[in-house]
A and B are shown apart, each in its own frame.
Chain A
Amino acid sequence: GAGVSQSPSNKVTEKGKDVELRCDPISGHTALYWYRQSLGQGLEFLIYFQGNSAPDKSGLPSDRFSAERTGGSVSTLTIQRTQQEDSAVYLCASSLQEGNTIYFGEGSWLTVV
């Protein structure tokens, strides 16, 4: 596609449920990122994938968060046993390779009630 595509665009879930957020990067982009944007917290790095290398998971806030990238393209961010503090916008981004401009998707707005 023309840009980074994320789904769902909005998700309301009950506390304790699991959620999956999907990201489809720009075609040909080898690097993929997940960031979280919380109200008043700015942008927080979560995880980075580059090709077939081991991902950098250093930003994941707890073991309830995990992410995978299948076939070097689509990525899924999974949050298990959601808590109210997980409510945020989850932004996916991709770039052609390390060092190039990172392009962001429109985000998945998660609300945990």
Chain B
Amino acid sequence: AQSVAQPEDQVNVAEGNPLTVKCTYSVSGNPYLFWYVQYPNRGLQFLLKYITGDNLVKGSYGFEAEFNKSQTSFHLKKPSALVSDSALYFCAVRDVKNDYKLSFGAGTTVTVRA
């Protein structure tokens, strides 16, 4: 079975400071990893994904994530957070062997204060 853990329910940072949202995963085979963002009363927007290749993945709005196989992690990062980054962030995983079903973490609420 595949699963995702987002250990922090909430992350609070000041505008201009680095932002990190943590994610660890568990799959039986190789993972496909994704980050989505959800703004209030909206659907999920795709941010970035890791399929294969370079462990550092760059995505939308200046976000990036690093795949670490030994630590089974895929943390989301942004060097300088904006107030507009305040939202709910979801990490998700697909197992290559069962590659259509996406399993989500519980989500992390990010608040960036001015």
Known: A105-B43, A106-B42. A98 touches B99 (CB 8 A): yes
Chain B residues within an 8 Å CB radius of A107? 42-43
Contact yes or no, B105 A99, CB < 8 A: no
Which listed segment binds B: A42-50, A62-70, A71-79, A80-88?
Answer: A42-50
Does residue A101 face the partner (Cβ distance < 8 Å to B)? yes
* A interface secondary structure, majority: strand
- The CA-CA distance from A106 to B34 in the complex, in Å, is 18
For the complex, count residues of A whose C-beta is within 8 A of B: 20
Which residue in chain A gives the minimum CB-CB distance to B107? Answer: A42
- The CA-CA distance from A42 to B105 in the complex, in Å, is 7
Contact yes or no, B99 A106, CB < 8 A: no
- The smallest C-beta distance from A23 to any residue of chain B, in angstroms, reads 11
Partner of B100, one of A4, A98, A106: A98
Contact yes or no, B99 A101, CB < 8 A: no
